Structure 1
Amino acid sequence: MRIDLHAHSTASDGTDTPAELVRNAAGAGLDVVALTDHDTVGGYAEALAALPAGLTLVTGAELSCRLDGVGVHLLAYLFDPEEPEFARERELVRDDRVPRARAMVAALRALGVDITWEQVARIAGEGSVGRPHVAAALVELGVVASVSDAFTPDWLADGGRAHAEKHELDPFDAVRLVKAAGGVTVLAHPAAARRGRCVPDSALAALAGAGLDGIEVDHMDHDPATRARLRALAADLDLLTTGSSDYHGSRKTCRLGEYTTDPEIYGEITRRATGAFPVPGAGGRHR
């Protein structure tokens, strides 16, 4: 059983539509895929309508958080998307994405980059605009060679020359909100140092004490030594360990199913969830 619990669509900063994402997941030989767009559930309906037979969809989201000045991404699975308090907080984060992206464009222009808001908006399309869309604009302009190359102190990394802050959740509040909505929480790529500063192990221990369910261990931004360290830490803290591709379509080099989650861990995630349940595909209605 092949399970990938971290993938993005055009509802946020992926390049596959939700329908394309689930079809591509089935084509990649996955049995389960999670749709975890940034701070939005906007891709659910399309993904469910197109869900192929043989593929199960886990609904989720990747929440933008910040702790002591460090960006933290929290994967939330199988929560009730209509729970009012959690829905309001996701809306606050989404609403701040446009002003933040505009501020980054302005900062880049001040650095001499010939980027425009219209270019970034075109790349984002109907999705929830974010840094990867600004990064993709830099690739189009030839400023950097890849989206990953834009996430450096020279450009868009936390604290970088063109970085701008946005409204983000405190991860302890995020864990509380997700749990109150019946969901399960997993900290995404917690030791991805190439993205910027990481929270210390003491923060992971505190989050575990506050109800965090797991950490994403097998990820393209974790080398083998980091994975071994995180697995040992998870065992000490009684946390689940997951593996995921963090797929963004053509915007990143990772492939669907490049890293996967153990079926027993997936089973425990589904057992803990009460807000929603995995949906098995019945062939999809839109081709």
Structure 2
Amino acid sequence: MEAPAEAPALGLHTELSNEAYHADKTSLSSSGARKILPPSCPAKFRYEQDNPQPATKTFDYGNAAHKLVLGNGPALEVVPGARWDTGKAKAHIAEIRERGGIPLKDHEMQMVKDMAAAIRQHPLAAALLDPAYGAPEQSGFWIDEPTGIRRRVRFDWLPSIQSGRLIIPDYKTATDASEDAMQKDIAKYGYNCQAAWYEEAAQALGLGGADAEMLLIVQEKKPPYLINVIGIEFFSREIGRAKNRVAIETFAECTSTGYWPGYADHNPNYLALPGYAEARDKELYLP
């Protein structure tokens, strides 16, 4: 797909703003690909592309932590007072958001400062995010050969010394960073798809070979702000790679036709009971 004149050029961009990155609607990102696939659908993807969603506290906390941990992102500003429902507070918050900043309460600002301090004290996370050997928020654009569409990626962090195997850290905040919780989150949020996408991006952009790997640096949002560094095993990443391919081909088809299907546009979807309910009710009610 040929990009419009204002779209970022193909290749790696070290200084591209987050706004300019997301403004390119002709390309597909990892998060966009995941939005195309079930349990979502192409119609939801297209709507959210055309109608940016309002900020939420969850995103504010994540973006604020990214700012202090990675050293790049929107400005953080404390809004004084415990109550944000007054006219003065609402006006102040609106003005901060209009500038692209993130409004925080005092205790929220202290939380993200403490999270950043905990990262710096963690031996592995601190080494992966060492500013002497890498830089944050780098964007890449490349052409998907099978379909000809533009793909894009925004790395949280890229090492500046790329001898040997490329390790791509990706920072996330979570309520629970334990192995059990994160295994569920990998499935829920498609982090295996993200890992496969980032690894393919590194190859396409000439940053690393077939052995490039994304590692999640996951940090809890409550004291003591525990950190877990998580790799996603090979077969799970291969499943992610296959799902990405379906999403890419769907995006290419929808872009070509201008038709972004929802759940059941032409034929009904026939559903069975969930397995647990079928087993229970079959035993209780069927002869």
Is TM more than 0.5 here? no
Q: Give the structure-2-normalised TM-score.
A: 0.29
Q: Which has the larger radius of gyration?
A: 2
Higher helix fraction: Structure 1 or Structure 2? 2
